[in-house]
Structure 1
Amino acid sequence: MSKVLMTVYNNFTHDSRVLKEANSLIDAGYDVEIVALLSGEVEPYEEMGKLKVHRVGINPVHLRFIKFLKDSKRDFAQLKRKMVNFYKKAIKSSNRIFKKILSIPKKFLSKINKFKGRILKKIVSIRRQLSVYTSKLEKSIISTLSCRHTEKYTIQVKDNKVTDVLRFIYCQFPVFQDKDNFVIKILKRTIRIIIKVCIYTPISIILLFILGITTINNALFYILAGILDIAFGTARFIIKLLGYFLKVIYEVLELVIVETLRLVANIVMSILRFPFSLLTNIINDNHEKSVIQKTDDRSKNDFTTLIINFLLKRHRLFCIFDFNKRIMQFCDNSSTTYDIVHSHDLNTLIFGYRYKKKYKTKLIYDSHELYLERNRFDSYSLLGKKIRVMVERKMIRKCDDVITVNVSIADYLADIYKVPVPKVIMNIPSAKEPVKRDESFSIRKQLSIPDDKMILLYSGAITFNRGIDKVIMSLKYNEDIHMVCMGYGADKFKDDLVNTAKESGVIDRFHFFGPVPGNQVTSYAASADIGVAPIENVCLSYYFCSPNKLFEYLLAGLPVITSNFPEMSRLVDEFGIGLTFDPSSPEDIARTIKEALVSEEIRSNVISKTREVISKYCWENEEKKLINMYEVL
């Protein structure tokens, strides 16, 4: 026997779809347990025949933190000042750090420029010395060659061998002794050229060493100085070229580095500003008092109150996460390992995804509606909705099977998340004979509505955007009609509807009744004259809805008028059992009510085709599809 775990985010007291699915699976031989939310006056554990219901309580982290805030005696105004001071100090420190980082390239370039300046000065100094040494050498040689000696020169080997050799040559050849001799001039010029060539050529070094000259006066220094002059000249050119490229590279790097650092600085500044901005936004944000938990603090600007309101605005999200965590803890502590997990709606799919990943079980996602396109007090932010869509897309693709309540929602899910078209298992009542009127279940009698007045019945949840206010407004166009709202709803919404009735002048023809037990809904509905489902087009989930109340009206033998939306229009038009209207127009609603009440064709279709509708749209047919799906798994 396969073990099935169903999860639902409510206390499982009015969820007819989950109950029908669980009982159908039990009848098919499955062992079914349900984990629901422990809220209200319900028991943590309950057995409904073979069905076991476990309810887990939640204690989300934000409520624990709020309790800490209220119980704590800390001065949160002081904490706020500390946060602001910390933010200011962090900004100053970051500014100093960024200035130091930006100054590094400038310091580096400055050092390069200084080093380049010192090199250039050294090169200029060496060049000057070289020119002086070259001039001195030339004069020394010429003066040596021009000297006159009457006596025969005898070579005496001394330290200055260069001078001795030149003097010996000069004295042995008298032709050199004539100053004005043309040959002497030529030789002098030749000597000058040779000296210059030898200074800039290393051959002179080899010649001098071949002659065995060990002491060459200052000639070797002059030669080396010439070589250094060439080297430093080349070095100077290279340094100038390198300096030019360094300057270009520096300008490019400076642009890149500065812009990068500015970008990093902006990011860091934004991160550092976040706590302060968050604090400022919280301070400037005027939140409405939460219907979940009201605070009675000293001032609206009290820091503790602002934090509490900020957290309570996200109350449902925190509760859903905590509920899924506690279901996981419940399963981890249980000795039972489930073969199939059936998650009802996205708010319990998080647990199903984690359980499948951990225990390698089968996972079914049962989407009762378009969860991310529901009727809400405040819509999701753009980023918040994007994240939720990504989460649902990731988890729905990991499911072994997906089911939903009608064709329109199935096609939408398949198109948005690129998954196979989910199976359609409608939320409709079981097949049974149409209910006959019973005076013990008479709304007219219990509300003392005259027999000559028609009763327009709205059955279901009394909440916002259900179009009830527009139907109330339409009563002023139909004076023979009383409207009855049968169901449960918050006092706030009921008070708003009463005010609408007073403003429209129809308060004497507007009534609340019930709520009544689920098995008595159709019995009471049979005492009305017409049923209405005035859903407003405020979200895709409402636009694609196929409410259970339509089939309850049919079982009660009532003509149906409903909003002109795809799924509801399909049912009404297929069997001719009612009419559709524009839910935003009280005039169109009033016209449709009159037409439906006087139409003999509609009344005859309701009487003659009710059984046909019931035989086609009944839970017994949907049950077969559910069982077949489980058997394939």
Structure 2
Amino acid sequence: MKKKIITSAFSNLYTDQRIEKVCKTLSDNGYLIELIGNDWGGNEKMERSYSFSRIKLKSKSLKTAYFEFNWKLYKELEKKADKNTILHANDIDALLPNFLIAKKLNIPLVFDSHEIFTEMPAIQNRLSQKVWRLLERSLVPKMKFMMTESQSYAEWFREKYGVDAVVVRNIPRKIFSAPEIPNNNPRIILYQGAINQSRGIDKVILAMHNINEAVLKIAGDGPLKKTYENLVVSEKLENKVFFLGKLKPENLREVTKTADLGFSLEENNGVSYYYSLPNKVCDYIQSRVPLVMINFPEMQRIKDKFDIGEVVTNHHPETIEKAMNRMLEKGRKFYAQELEKAAGVYCWENEEEKILELFRKASGN
């Protein structure tokens, strides 16, 4: 009989597609899954094929919410874990209670680092960064079983802490039939994901002044949404830039298929962004949508293998505008063959065996 897996994360779970995919893969392969998140940032109704719960948080600030969650998670794990359990911690902000319980019960712990948490722009140059770095330095070198989201992340963890992480890219499940290429007028440029700093969204908004017969649709939510809405008004681009809000994953997939062009233009505000493979890159690929990317290592790797769009070397609106105009002139059909080949490589089905092998090792099998 396979072991029980308790997966935990500082997340409301609703839009966390990586956790959903990992848990479903493990559940479909006979593991009993219990997923624990929290209600910070929402408590939307959710359906899963495995057990899940959300820890209720009373905190009003994110800083105190982290402490409250870690304490309450420790108590939950103490109640639910036993000798037949594998603990599965997602990111540094859920690692300490998992580590303590794993040590207490002498049971395996799998650590999944979705990013280089301590190098995220949101915590840089703050006291909290020192706290997370202390935890990282103390715990990560002790991880026997670890996975992370990109080859560049894995190389960073190996160089920094001497730990070998399995690369499990956060990429979507295969869409087996290529969506029909739309005949949009005006054509649609799509951004999907969190509306946070360092995503290049404001630069694309400014580029829309000189991209003709096209509109920009922004699907997602985040702390900078209002700022960018104000930018659109101040630039008098209300007829060219539209905010779609936060969409359910299944609804977002339908929107993505309708786009003529996507983009992933993260800015180099720390190694976590620089070494990332943003989820949206492979979401666009699966929907056979070409894209403009910044020349960060993971995106350059893809472009070196498949001609799925253009790579730019800076975030100047003029640079972005020229790349997008060239691609829109070529049209989505121009990239269809290369996108089809890339979709066969960058799909979740190719990641699943790596996850199962890692958990087999953690089980002692």
Give TM-score scaled by structure 2 length.
Answer: 0.91
Equivalent of 1:495 in 217, 223, 226: 226
SS at match of 2:15: coil
Equivalent of 2:176 in 419, 429, 433: 433
- Counterpart in the other structure of 1:534: 265
Quick check: 1:372–1:389 contact (8 Å CA) kept in 2?
A: yes
- Counterpart in the other structure of 1:520: 251
Alignment of 1:382-461 (within 5 A): 385-419=129-163, 421-437=164-180, 452-461=185-194
Quick check: 1:328–1:355 contact (8 Å CA) kept in 2?
A: yes
1:628 matched to 2:364? The reply is no
The one-letter amino acid of 2:336's match is I
CA distance in 2, matches of 1:56, 1:500: 37
Equivalent of 2:76 in 301, 324, 330: 330
Task: Report the aligned-residue RMSD.
Answer: 2.3
Runs of 4+ displaced beyond 6 Å = none
The one-letter amino acid of 1:395's match is L
> Displacement of 1:462 after TM fit?
1.6
SS at match of 2:175: coil
> Displacement of 1:316 after TM fit?
2.7
The one-letter amino acid of 1:432's match is I
> Displacement of 1:378 after TM fit?
6.0
Alignment of 1:472-483 (within 5 A): 472-483=205-216
CA distance in 1, matches of 2:173, 2:351: 9
Quick check: 1:435–1:522 contact (8 Å CA) kept in 2?
A: no
Quick check: 1:459–1:486 contact (8 Å CA) kept in 2?
A: yes
SS at match of 2:122: coil
- Counterpart in the other structure of 2:307: 576
Quick check: 1:7–1:348 contact (8 Å CA) kept in 2?
A: yes
Alignment of 1:595-610 (within 5 A): 595-599=326-330, 603-604=333-334, 606-610=335-339
Equivalent of 1:586 in 295, 317, 325: 317
> Displacement of 1:33 after TM fit?
0.6
- Counterpart in the other structure of 2:56: 57
> Displacement of 1:596 after TM fit?
1.6
Aligned pair in 2 of structure 1 residues 514, 596: CA closer, same or farther (>3 Å)? same
- Counterpart in the other structure of 1:283: none
The one-letter amino acid of 1:48's match is R
Aligned pair in 2 of structure 1 residues 372, 378: CA closer, same or farther (>3 Å)? closer
Alignment of 1:174-253 (within 5 A): none
> Displacement of 1:435 after TM fit?
4.5
> Displacement of 1:411 after TM fit?
0.6
Rg (Cα) greater in structure: 1
SS at match of 2:255: helix
- Counterpart in the other structure of 1:74: none
| Partner deviation per Cα, 1:483-537 (whole Å, 9 max, x = no partner) | 11012234xx223112222333323211111432212323212222111112122
- Counterpart in the other structure of 2:345: 616
SS at match of 1:558: coil
SS at match of 1:376: helix
Quick check: 2:217–2:242 contact (8 Å CA) kept in 1?
A: yes
CA distance in 2, matches of 1:405, 1:29: 24
> Displacement of 1:386 after TM fit?
4.3
1:374 matched to 2:111? The reply is no
SS at match of 2:242: strand
Quick check: 1:470–1:583 contact (8 Å CA) kept in 2?
A: no
> Displacement of 1:390 after TM fit?
3.1
SS at match of 1:482: strand
> Displacement of 1:368 after TM fit?
0.2
Whichever structure has more strand as a proportion of its residues is 2
> Displacement of 1:588 after TM fit?
0.4
Aligned pair in 2 of structure 1 residues 486, 387: CA closer, same or farther (>3 Å)? closer
CA distance in 2, matches of 1:320, 1:543: 25
Aligned pair in 2 of structure 1 residues 397, 378: CA closer, same or farther (>3 Å)? closer
Quick check: 2:123–2:129 contact (8 Å CA) kept in 1?
A: no
Whichever structure has more helix as a proportion of its residues is 1
1:41 matched to 2:43? The reply is yes
CA distance in 2, matches of 1:437, 1:611: 12
SS at match of 1:397: helix
- Counterpart in the other structure of 1:264: none
- Which consecutive unaligned segments of at least 5 residues does structure 2 have? none
> Displacement of 1:611 after TM fit?
3.1
Quick check: 1:530–1:560 contact (8 Å CA) kept in 2?
A: yes
> Displacement of 1:403 after TM fit?
0.6
CA distance in 2, matches of 1:522, 1:42: 19
Quick check: 1:401–1:422 contact (8 Å CA) kept in 2?
A: yes
The one-letter amino acid of 1:373's match is E
Quick check: 1:522–1:553 contact (8 Å CA) kept in 2?
A: no
| Partner deviation per Cα, 1:440-490 (whole Å, 9 max, x = no partner) | xx9x9xxxxxx5422111111122221111001111122322111012234
| Partner deviation per Cα, 1:330-385 (whole Å, 9 max, x = no partner) | 2333475552111000000011111111111101110000100112176324xx54
SS at match of 2:222: coil
CA distance in 1, matches of 2:94, 2:84: 16
SS at match of 1:48: coil
| Partner deviation per Cα, 1:23-60 (whole Å, 9 max, x = no partner) | 111121111111111343347xx7722x1102212345
Give TM-score scaled by structure 1 length.
Answer: 0.54
Paired positions, count: 360
The one-letter amino acid of 2:7's match is M
- Which consecutive unaligned segments of at least 5 residues does structure 1 have? 61-291, 293-314, 445-450
Quick check: 1:582–1:589 contact (8 Å CA) kept in 2?
A: no
